[in-house]
Amino acid sequence: MGRVFSIKNDQAESRLFLRRIYVALTFIVLLTVGLIVRLVYLQIVGHEHYATLAKENSVKLTPVPPTRGIIYDRNGKVLAENTPSYSLELIPEQIEDIDDTLARLQKLFDLPGEKIEQFHKQRKREKRFNSVALLPAMTEEELAKFAVAMPFFPGVEIKTHQVRHYPYYDLASHVVGYVGRINEAELKDLPMPEYQGTNHIGKLGIERTYETQLHGKTGYAEIETNVQGRSLNTINEVKPVPGANLYLTLDIDLQKTAYDALDFYNGAVVAIDVKTGGVLVFASRPGFDPNPFVVGISGEAYKALNESENQPLYNRALRGLYPPGSTIKPFVALAGLEYDKIHAPQSLYCPGYYTLPGVDHKYRDWRKGGHGSVDMIRAITESCDVYFYRLAQMLGIQNLHDFLQQFGFGEKTGIDLYGESAGLLPSPAWKRAKRKQRWYEGETLISGIGQGYHQVTPLQLARATATLANHGEVVTPFLVDKIITPQGVLRGPEKHGESIPLKAGHLDAIFAGMINVVHSAAGTAKRIGYGIPYQIAGKTGTAQVFGIKQGAKYNESEIDFKLRDNALFVAFAPADDPKIAVAVVVEHGSHGGTVAAPIAGKVIKQYLKTLHED
């Protein structure tokens, strides 16, 4: 067998070796350059960024929430305050079996399942070494129970904190409102830097409208932490700026008088300072206790409030819509004078009903036999319906609409509260747009006595009455008089609108008729005018809740309470130098003179007595 010989190519191997050396060298150089570039970036270009990250690993910014501002009435009585409260809190890291601990606590305090669910939701947002509240506001009984059982609950502790409290409960609930826990929807719109560490926000009333001022400015503390995030010590602290204190125009004593005077009736009372527009009384009955909403009202309790036939959550003063009834008559009479459709001494005959030409339907007067021949003053005094049927026909619906609109009917007043209703001031254009129907002349007649489509809020009615008392000078109702901040005192949103141009002397007959309502023998509210050294100008009103068939009789004793007429009354006093205007609406009160007027009388007398004493 022959031998095989291989011929070695030293030159080729040498070239291959050099090529590999060059590739390796190039790779090493590139790695070296990359390393140098990275070092330059880390040490020079990115130094500030990474230094900050390193600091944040060891220093944590903890928000320090501000103290919420206090709300006072006009005399310095506290309407909303911050009071010490005790909460039961669990530290999950220190509890071996948290489910067992929760089960025992649930049994100890007889807690509903939703409380445990809320705890678990909150727990998921916190680190294991942070405490989580199970009972945000403990009662004295709960504190006593836990004091005995505390040794058997390691990792469970009681902490003290501030909680919002409303000392007047239902009396001012619709005005002051309440705060509640921030929900997911609100989180999206809130400026988060300012609300870090804050769990509550204004939900209703003044608490909501003035949330920014009441909340204050959040501070923060720089706290050194370890790698697990535990706090070691405080390095620096910027103190929070407390929320502003608010002083309202509301008189809580006067509010109580109005609220109590409504007694078992549902309704509303609004009183306004004629000169400024400051709201003195803003009562809506029934009210509700706002305190449970602060710590989280139970589903069962909220359902009971929400489904109550008396609707305690409904702000009747701000949102309630009612036909104004005969309280509109002084304004209709003034419109007749301003448009030169009638003169105050001119008499119209009232046989007890009114009919349109060629129509059999009778528009009835409240007095079956009629009032006979009546002029404007007597028509207002005795509330003659026939007089105002005829006057409304003389004016026409468009003139009537345009004149009443100047007094703010059909429009929001602009008060510093959310959720105000605008009411409804009907017109042919409105009916065409909303109902796709033409306007009928009979609808003009009933508009002249405040029936039909016309709807007002008690607040709107009070403002119109104040404007009338103010000789046409329009004021905007407001509740916050002063805002006290660390920087000084700010004034509330007092505003004056344009004056309604009224002809000289036209108000004389209107005021004379309204004074007679209270102070004459024939007046429909004469009971409230006795024994006072000044005169009250007022107007009663009774508004139907349902229509009565032609020829049928209204028998109050045979009608279900909920179908009885609403009772209304508007007034201002003193008549010669008005200082207060009041509007009262009593649901199903039947008679403005006997039910609504005495409520206004109590408010007026107390307020003017207080002014005299001051």
Catalytic residue numbers read 326
Instruction: Let me know: does 317 contact 485? Beta carbons within 8 Å.
Output: no
Residue of 538, 512, 543, 535 whose CA lies nearest to 525: 538
Q: Sort 506 into a burial class: Cβ within 10 Å, 0-12 / 13-18 / 19+.
A: middle
Q: What are phi and psi of 523, to 5 degrees?
A: -65, 145
- Which residue bears the tokens 């006290």? 484
* Type of residue numbered 226: N
* Type of residue numbered 348: L
Q: How far is Cα 196 from Cα 179, in angstroms, rounded to an integer? A: 16
Name beta bridge partners: 88.
135, 158
Cβ neighbours of residue 11 closer than 8 Å, sequence gap 6 or more: none
Contacts 24+ apart (CB under 8 A), 361-370: 361/442, 361/550, 362/550, 363/389, 363/442, 363/445, 363/446, 366/542
Name beta bridge partners: 269.
283, 584
Three-state helix/strand/coil letters over 310-322: CCCCCCHHHHCCE
Q: Which helix (H) or strand (E) holds 489?
A: strand 488-491
Q: Which helix (H) or strand (E) holds 336?
A: helix 329-338
SS3 297: coil
Handedness of CA 115, 121, 124, 125 (dihedral sign): negative
Q: How far is Cα 560 from Cα 544, in angstroms, rounded to an integer? A: 13
Q: How many CB atoms lie within 10 A of CB 505?
A: 9
SS3 58: helix
Cβ neighbours of residue 87 closer than 8 Å, sequence gap 6 or more: 133, 134, 135, 136, 137, 138, 158, 159, 161
HSE on the CB side for 413, CA within 13 Å?
34
Instruction: Let me know: does 302 contact 189? Beta carbons within 8 Å.
Output: no
Instruction: Let me know: does 605 contact 531? Beta carbons within 8 Å.
Output: no
Q: How far is Cα 505 from Cα 482, in angstroms, rounded to an integer? A: 38
Ordered DSSP codes for 345-391: T--EEESSEE--TT----EE-SSTT--EEE-HHHHHHHT-HHHHHHH
Here the tokens at position 15 are: 């070239």
